[in-house]
Amino acid sequence: MSDEPDKRSFAGLSREADGRFDDDSLVKILTESIEDVAGSFGANKVPNSLKSIEVLGIMQSRYWNVATLNEFRAFMGLSKHKTFEDINPDPVVARKLKEFYDSPDAVELYPGLVTEKPKPPMNPGSGLCVNYTISHAILSDAVALIRGDRFYTVDYTPKNITNWGYNEANSDMSVNHGHVFHKLIFRAFSNHFSDNSIYAHYPLVAPSENKKICDSLGWSTRYSWEKPTRKSDLIVVHSHKAAAAVLNNNKNKNLPTETSNWADELRSFCDFKTRQLLQKNSTPLVQNGDVIHEVDIVRDVFSLAVTHVISVMFGLTLKTPSNPHGIYSEQEMFNLLLSQHIATFSQRDVANSFKLREAAKDTSGQLAALIIAKEKGGKLLELAGKLGKIIHSNGTHANAITPEPSLPSFGTDLVGHIIADHASGEDAGAFIVQLASAGIASQQLLSQCLDYYLGDGQEHLPELYRLANLNTKEADEVLMK
């Protein structure tokens, strides 16, 4: 074996030019190991290949004068074994112990720990079915480790490992009851394991046995039971021309892309809602004798404006001053749509995507149920057109109740086409939820534009202000370009 670690190998693998092992080969070994059922622990269950290890262990314990099995149990606060049958009721094992030792008190620690009877498996209960002495020692050691290891105690704080590191290392009881082994596998082999692979989430249990357990608990549908395989490489689009070609390749000719006045409706709606949110959420401040207004424009304007557009377009009624009977507030709806968007379109971290997807399932069901309920009541197609007329009222007090505007042409036509193209209301509802969540990306785009024009592009602000106040189609076209 080479003295240089980077030249060593195992399992007949060869290193690549960059010094790494091939991921496919490593995943194959890992998968086979996960599927391989481990041998149970106990008397007469040590494989022949480990005989020399057992002999060396017995010899070392004698050289160190370690305690006997009963002495060790007494030290741990456990009762001593009074007979060989008490150590193990199996007559074959008890007879062999009698042949080597005069009394149970003479049984050495190493052979005693191996031959002691295992704890019976419980269902439901613990799967740690080693003998009682070892399990007691293991759990005692775990407690001592947690209490005494600085990485688990005084150093395990966000101050030392940052908020991100603390959350990354921390357990989440909503995922695998707090297990974190899956993060290690996903980090190492992100191109092979799906985010819900049972091989990654429970690698210490054979999938065949795990299937029985998950079936009994009703969890089987949460996980993928397929063997890990390499995913297809992502095709990255680098140029604006290629991106435009992809986005303009619309094969669904039934969507209302040529509605006569939908662009004007959308522009008017956005203008009204932006002014309303600025007026409502800005705070007056006195600075050098002048009154200025401060607002968190991303949180209180961009996010909420986009949410209102999506909600009105797809018939997701919001709880507002003019509609106190709505189900979700504007901030709640934004959070629901955002969770859907991240789970569907922005899962860049496979180690956390399972948690996001499970959370999105719940929110998707809530939104789809809301849409389907309206559709079954015969009101979905009428809702967008009946929400009210667009009212421009720049002088309205922030607390005044103003009728909500609508998007009758585009919103009604779009929802109508979607329902007509799907076999059931459930399918249509699910599609609308995904389509609606895609629109949340506009908030990020607006934020990036603002960041640019308040930074490197601030020289363009006067011209942007002038064009915006012209309020003409020609000026709007210049602004968009």
- In the chain (481 residues long), the average pLDDT of successive 10-residue segments reads 83 87 93 88 87 93 95 93 94 94 94 90 70 88 87 87 88 85 90 91 91 90 92 84 81 51 78 89 87 91 90 80 82 87 77 79 71 49 33 35 54 67 68 82 88 91 90 84 76
- 3-state secondary structure (DSSP) of residue 300: helix
Q: Would you state the pLDDT for residue 381?
A: 35
- 3-state secondary structure (DSSP) of residue 254: coil
Q: Would you state the pLDDT for residue 383?
A: 35
Q: What is the pTM of this model?
A: 0.67
Q: Across-strand partners of 283?
A: 294
- Angle between helix 441-453 and helix 303-314 axes, rounded to 10 deg: 150
Main-chain phi, psi angles of 433, to 5 degrees: -60, -45
| Residue in the structure block whose two tokens are 């091989």 | 199
Q: Would you state the pLDDT for residue 339?
A: 82
Q: Would you state the pLDDT for residue 409?
A: 58
Q: Which whole-number Å values give the CA distances from 383 to 256, 312, 316, 325, 411, in the listed order?
A: 17, 9, 9, 15, 9
Q: In this structure, what DSSP letter does residue 324 have? A: T
Measured CA to CA, the distance from residue 420 to residue 439 in angstroms comes to 22
Q: Which whole-number Å values give the CA distances from 184 to 168, 202, 232, 288, 289, in the listed order?
A: 11, 12, 21, 56, 58
Measured CA to CA, the distance from residue 390 to residue 114 in angstroms comes to 81
Measured CA to CA, the distance from residue 109 to residue 114 in angstroms comes to 9
Please count the other Cβ atoms lying within 10 Å of the Cβ belonging to residue 41: 15
Q: Would you state the pLDDT for residue 126?
A: 59
Q: Would you state the pLDDT for residue 203?
A: 93
**Beta carbons of 406 and 384 less than 8 angstroms apart:** yes
Q: In this structure, what DSSP letter does residue 176 have? A: G
Whether the CA torsion 377, 378, 381, 383 is positive or negative: it is: negative
Main-chain phi, psi angles of 332, to 5 degrees: -65, -40
Measured CA to CA, the distance from residue 390 to residue 388 in angstroms comes to 7
